[in-house]
């Protein structure tokens, strides 16, 4: 089954049900919708759901809205066995029902067969299209789709209706340290901050992240701070490269054990005679 095929038609049917009111759907039509009330406890979550973080405040607000106004859009499930279903779309709505202690939920039972790869695909694309994922979940989602389907960034960009640069820049977040990723997911730093930090080593990332949080740095301030670190790194590399280019000359001029470390040379003497020999060499300079 081609990437993305199936999701659009499923979600389109749900939208159609909502717009035309569920009771008016012709259940005998070719693309009929099986819409029913299902026990919440009989629905299993999609094991390939990429979304790991669900804001409790937002879920409680949705729960209260459902209690007050009812469910405005049904979830989508597929049948597993008798009275048992697997969730395809609508995990927030399902969780909100559980919070509200509502025993049943309105659901569209999609009459399709999905293998594990298709389930993963549906969960990823549905979340991406609905902007339900945080930056790290989105980055992982893109990486999984590219890996599973062996496609290019350009191909994925067309499928999820995002720019190729957005795909590439978001996936670069996967190079961040676990500490930085945690702070990004917890919203202590923004995606704008995180993009600037990519490229620093783990130690520098922690310093910058802690500085952002402690001093409430803006993205521009962070950019200046990171630029400073990167400039220092370039200067260090330049010094190393400069001394290293004279390695053979040092070897001839210094008949002693020595090491080039950054912009310095470390000389080791075996005995006093070597020290005296070194002093003698200095006097000739």
pLDDT at position 26: 41
Asked whether the beta carbons of 156 and 142 are under 8 A apart, the reply is: yes
Candidates 3.40.50.720, 3.90.1530.10, 3.40.50.300, 3.20.20.450; CATH matching 7-114 = 3.90.1530.10
Instruction: Name the DSSP letter for residue 11.
Output: H
Count of CB atoms situated within 10 Å of the CB of 83: 9
List average pLDDT for each run of 10 residues in the chain, which is 285 residues long.
46 44 39 78 81 78 90 86 85 91 91 66 64 79 81 85 90 95 93 92 93 94 86 58 66 76 76 83 72
| Distance between CA atoms of residues 8 and 21, nearest Å | 19
pLDDT at position 190: 94
pLDDT at position 124: 66
Residue 75: name the closest of 123, 29, 135, 25 by CA: 123
Inter-CA distances, 74 with 99, 138, 241, 260, Å: 17, 24, 64, 68
CA torsion sign, 98 to 104 to 106 to 109? positive
Residue ranges of the chain assigned to CATH 3.90.1530.10: 7-114
Spell out the residues 6+ positions from residue 195 whose beta carbon is closer than 8 angstroms to its own.
Answer: 169, 172, 173
């Amino acid at each position: 089954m081609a990437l993305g095929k199936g999701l659009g038609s499923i979600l389109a049917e749900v939208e159609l049900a909502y717009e035309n009111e569920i009771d008016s759907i012709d259940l005998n039509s070719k693309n009929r919708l099986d819409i029913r009330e299902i026990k919440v406890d009989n629905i299993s979550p999609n094991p390939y759901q990429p979304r790991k973080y669900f804001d409790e405040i937002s879920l409680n607000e949705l729960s209260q809205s459902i209690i007050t106004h009812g469910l405005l859009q049904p979830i989508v499930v597929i049948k597993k066995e008798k009275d048992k279903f697997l969730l395809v779309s609508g995990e927030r709505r399902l969780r909100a029902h559980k919070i509200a202690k509502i025993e049943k939920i309105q659901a569209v039972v999609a009459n399709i067969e999905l293998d594990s790869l298709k389930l993963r695909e549906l969960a990823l694309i549905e979340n991406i299209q609905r902007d339900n994922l945080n930056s790290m979940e989105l980055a992982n989602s893109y990486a999984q789709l590219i890996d599973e389907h062996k496609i290019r960034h350009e191909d994925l960009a067309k499928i999820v209706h995002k720019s190729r640069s957005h795909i590439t820049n978001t996936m670069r977040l996967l190079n961040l340290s676990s500490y930085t990723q945690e702070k990004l997911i917890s919203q202590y730093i923004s995606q704008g901050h995180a993009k600037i930090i990519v490229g620093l080593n783990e130690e520098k990332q922690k310093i910058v992240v802690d500085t952002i949080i402690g001093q409430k740095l803006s993205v521009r301030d962070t950019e200046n701070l990171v630029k400073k670190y990167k400039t220092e790194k370039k200067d260090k590399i330049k010094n190393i490269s400069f001394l290293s280019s004279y390695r053979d000359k040092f070897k001839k001029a210094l008949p002693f054990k020595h090491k080039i470390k950054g912009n310095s040379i470390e000389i080791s003497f075996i005995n006093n005679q070597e020290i005296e020999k070194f002093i003698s060499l200095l006097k000739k300079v």
